[in-house]
Amino acid sequence: MVGVLHTWGRQLQWHPHVHFIIAGGGLAPDRQSWVATKQRDWLVPVSAVSAQYRLGFEAELRAVAPDLHAQVPEAVWRKKWIVHSEPAGTGENVVKYLARYVHRTAISDERILAADERSVTFRYTDTATREKKTCTLSAEEFMRRYLLHVPPPGQHRVRYFGWMHPGARARRAVVETLLAAPMW
* 10 Cβ contact partners less than 8 Å away, ≥ 6 residues apart: 124, 125, 126, 127
The rounded mean pLDDT for the chain is 83
- Closest alpha carbon to 146 in 14, 2, 3: 14
Above 70 in pLDDT, residue 43?
no
**Which has more pLDDT, 160 or 19?**
19
Q: What is the pLDDT of residue 167?
A: 73
Above 90 in pLDDT, residue 114?
yes
Above 70 in pLDDT, residue 37?
yes
Per-residue pLDDT, averaged over 39-47, amounts to 71
Above 60 in pLDDT, residue 182?
no
Torsion sign, CA atoms 145, 147, 149, 152: negative
Above 80 in pLDDT, residue 32?
no
Q: What is the spatial distance between Cα 157 and Cα 166, in angstroms, rounded to a whole number?
A: 15
User: Which pLDDT tens digit goes with each residue over 60-69?
Assistant: 999 999 999 9
**Which has more pLDDT, 35 or 122?**
122
Query: Which stretch of 49-58, 62-71, 152-161 has the lowest confidence by average pLDDT?
Result: 152-161
